[in-house]
Amino acid sequence: MLPKIIGSETEYGLMVQNDPKFDSIATALLLINSYKADQALQLLWDYDQEEPLVDARGFELDEEYDVPTQQENMAINKILPNGARYYVDHAHPEFCTPECSNVLDLIRYEKAGERIVHLSLRGANQLLPPGQSIIVYKNNSDQKGNSYGYHENYLIDRRLPFQTIVDQMTPFLVSRQVMCGAGKVGAENGTNPVDYQISQRADFFETEIGLDTMVKRPIINTRDEPHADRDRYRRLHVIVGDANMSEYTTYLKVGTTMMVLQMVEEGFVVEDVALRNPVWAFKDISHDPTCKALVALNNGKKLTAVDIQRCFHAVAQRYVETHPDCHPTYPALVAEWGAVLDRLASDPMQLYREIDWVMKLHLVQNYIERRHSGWDDPRIAMMDLQYHDVRPEKGLYYLLERSGAARRMLTDAESIRAMEEPPEDTRAYFRGQCLKKFKNQIFGVNWDSISLNLGDGPIQRIFMDEPTRGTKKHVQRLLDQSATAAELVAKMTS
Amino acid sequence: MHMRLRGTGQAWAGIVTCAESVQQQTRRTTETPTQTTATPARNLTAKGDKLKEDMDALIEEIDEVLEENAEEFVKNYVQRGGE
């Protein structure tokens, strides 16, 4: 049984108030470079080992892949001492968490990312002309036909056949949105009009399986770029999810997905739950906030998303009952998952403290009622956006949190700490501690390597293709005993 | 599509968080019969009123922080180039 390492990438949405010549790339660059600008290290993201065009179905796309110049590279990429990557991806600031061994850490680092983005914003605003200010959203839609991603990554056993992943994860991912959608006012991209829907991303998914992430988005993304020992591991790159503000929602979203992948790896699969048309099902489920929409299975049955989730939940329950030594987070996850499914089946609005799409809908409905407003009121579209504002004094999610109206999974102290400290139980520890300790001797970084400039001689690259090694337990003594990067390398090669 | 929030008087029955629900389910198996009497009606209305007040306050706060000129603001927000 291989350990499950996870991580998420959040593309943030960006705008500048009162700037008629707003340039998203320039602003994203300014934002990234405004985080602790005085302490920023000049190092490169190592694109050498990136292979984004390799497809899990067994081929490689013959396309050009742009790699930035060294100078661009240093401006675009920041690698942070907590092991995270903070960079400009196309026109977006993007925050990638360090590798985590469990869902609670994942939530911590995502929340640390929000804080980092907020601090960057405050720093960058000081450099803008008076009257202009940057606004950043942790969401997935601009209501103008554009969507940007929240991507999850799960390390899985390469021996698990890719077709099994497709068969199990398609119905799971299509239906899980009832537990973790971020909610959205209106519909787009040619789908049927609706006042409100569950998922920000559903309207933008057009195929079942594919390599692309920007057009004709697929439910199962076949990118095969493990950033790890490719003989042992696959990295499942999940692009269907919404970015969530609620900690509890992230807990359900990532926790259940991680658990389902683990149980499937070990042969605990759900039988006969294949959908007749996953793309339609994805949209139909999203467009019904009462969670009663029925979708067709290949076997002729029609089930709701909750019913489909219950199939996975039942298997997960069997899995934890027969594996007393399973991941310690799993038993509680199974219990929470089951309770949430019960609530969704009886009345989803009961989850108005727990699930983002319900929290947002609850706010909007109450606003409409008290202000004699309606779904066409621009203030409602504004609320849809402002729910995701990363400024604590403006973001509607943070408003709920401050009022005690949001169920928490963390303390603020934990997410603040995660801004500086890497996880202790993955290779992110080695990366983060090297960055802190050897600062200007770091030449370049990637997920699975660090390159050191020792002064004399060539750049030394340390390969880290095992995500479960490089932990505090593995490397603390080595780090403590090495005052310089040269000593570190000497000790590692002796 | 029109969705109504349940009337606040009835809302109490539904407003139980998941963990509380899980805890309640475990508690019920060990509680003695005398402990499971229903909450008196006046407590239900008091709770309902409090929830309504809390929501009133939240809506007031939203009006204070919501971006002005919502229509123009939303129109101006465009974010291309996303994965």
Q: Give the pLDDT confidence of A394-408 residue by residue, as tens digits.
A: 999 999 999 999 999
At B32 the pLDDT is: 38
Question: According to DSSP H, which parts of A274-329 are helical?
Answer: 278-286, 305-322
Alpha-carbon torsion angle A254, A258, A260, A263, nearest 10? -160
User: Within chain A, which residues score under 50 in pLDDT?
Assistant: none
pLDDT for A140 equals 97
**How distant, in Å, are the alpha carbons of A43, A98, A178, A283, A319 from that of A329?**
36, 19, 21, 31, 13
pLDDT of residue A464: 92
At B8 the pLDDT is 32
What predicted TM-score, i.e. pTM, was given to this entire model?
Answer: 0.90
CA-nearest residue to A395 within chain B is B65
CA distance, residue A315 to nearest chain B CA (Å): 19
Q: Given the DSSP bridges, would you call strands A196-197 and A205-210 parallel, antiparallel or unpaired?
A: unpaired
Residues from chain A that touch B66, judged by Cβ atoms under 8 A, are 379, 382-383, 386
∠A86-A89-A94 over CA atoms, to 5°?
35
Rounded Cα–Cα distance for residues B12 and A216 (Å):
44
Give the model confidence (pLDDT) of A79-110 as tens digits: 999 999 999 998 899 999 999 999 999 999 99
Nearest CB neighbour to B19, from listed A148, A336, A349:
A336
Contact B70 A381 (CB under 8 A): yes
Please, which pLDDT band fits residue B41 given cuts at 50, 70 and 90? low
List, in order of start, the domains of chain A with CATH numbers. Answer: 6-417 (3.30.590), 428-493 (no CATH)
CA distance A60 to A72: 27
ipTM > 0.90 for the complex: no
In chain A, residues with a C-beta closer than 8 Å to the C-beta of B70 are 377-379, 381-382
Contact predicate B58/A121, CB 8 Å: no
Across the strands, what pairs with A96? A9, A85
The answer for residues whose C-beta is within 8 angstroms of residue A269's C-beta and 6 or more apart is A164, A167, A168, A263, A315
pLDDT attached to residue A76: 85
Walk across the sheet containing A233-238 and list its strands: A77-79, A85-89, A92-96, A6-11, A150-157, A233-238
Does residue B41 sit at the A interface (CB-CB below 8 Å)? no
What rounded mean pLDDT belongs to chain B? Answer: 63
User: What's the confidence (pLDDT) of residue A349?
Assistant: 98
Q: What is the pLDDT of residue A54?
A: 75
Query: What would the mean pLDDT of B59-66 be, rounded to a whole number?
Result: 96
Does any CB of chain A come closer than 8 Å to the CB of residue B13? Answer: no
The residues spanned by each domain of chain B are 14-76
Instruction: Tell me what pLDDT residue B39 has.
Output: 52
